[in-house]
Structure 1
Amino acid sequence: MHETQIISALWLIGILAEAMTGALAAGRKQMDLFGVVIIGCATAIGGGTLRDMLLGNYPLIWVENVHYLLAIACASLLTVMIAPIMRYLSSFFLAIDALGLAVFSIVGAQKTLMLGYSPLVAIVMGLVTGVFGGVIRDILCNQMPLIFRKELYAVISLLTAAIYVGLKLLGIPEWINLSICIVTGFSLRMLALKYHWSIPTFDYQSGNDQHSH
């Protein structure tokens, strides 16, 4: 069960870090403390909650283990208190976010396979778990979701989940699979940030739109 404990610890670090990034997003929109907690919770557990609802997997993890919800709320409020030093920790948070993306993508795929769904559904649910907390955060903050406009994020989540499922089907030992996927997902995300890797964008403007500018 050793690798299960490691993945659980990484998952917990990931949700707390996502809660803090959500709280910072709320702070940029000058929300009150209730808003900070709501955005923090949505960012941290939104993806996993959406996955379990789509798969009909109840009770939801934060309903069954309410202490997770309390920890996320505390992390969100802690962010408000230490906000002045957060700018000095930006690189650290980018690294934790990259780790969280890999771990969430793996956990999403792992849980979906355990519930007996097909490999393709597992890959999609890895993506949902990895990125949709951020999508919900950005929608609540009234901005274009990060995954649709910036460096590779969703593609890395999809790739990490796909590698995990592929190696699982090949019968690779779980700890080796987890190690490969975490290192690959984390490294790709950090490289994408450093070198501004992105996929092509689609910029469509009709003739009427162009004349109106």
Structure 2
Amino acid sequence: MPGDATGLRRLAIFDFDGTLADSFPWFVGVLNGVAERYGFKPVEPDEVEQLRGYDARRIMRHLRVPGWKLPFIANHMRGLMARDIDGVRLFDGVPATLQALHGRGVSIAIVSSNSADNIRRVLGPENAALVTHLGCGSSLFGKPAKFRRMMRQTGIPADRAIAIGDELRDIDAARRVGMACAAVGWGYSRVDALAAHRPDRLLTRVEEIAGLFDG
């Protein structure tokens, strides 16, 4: 696994929605309103689990979302979350995990298509203070560039870093930059779909994250 040959990992790059923040129920609740506004296919209740097994490009094809609309949809979704932010919470165990990593001297970064303001509000001041780098507003497929920027800003190479996310595109982005990836099974993508994508680690409990930084 990348990162093991040269010593302990020193950089954790987290996704936010579905990894640190339990936002999937909110996402499902607003999705069909967004579909009506932007003219793509609404999601039936019995389709949700099916879509959780698809990668982002297949979801776009299924819902008939043209790529040129993505920036407008993403911006609208950020605004909706800002409106509803009091209903979005961190997963249980996330604050303790961030504290544990910070205590070990691990640099904590977040790369997300969400806004910095939304992320800070959900984290709260105490947890937000533990995050040293934010790469926000990234496009749906723009994470590799953000990962490279985080490594440049921290001076920590790919073999001392790990990406932690809940979607198939998080695994793909990490591979693009030669970084290990831990997939988490409590977010947007189904566990079986994540496993089939063969991440370096597949986690099923938040408490397992700290173990990624053991010797």
Structure with bigger strand share is 2
**What TM-score, normalized to structure 1?**
0.28
Higher Cα radius of gyration = 1
Which is helix-richer, 1 or 2?
Answer: 1
Q: TM-score, normalised by structure 2?
A: 0.28
Q: Which has the higher contact order (CA 8 A, sep 6+)?
A: 2
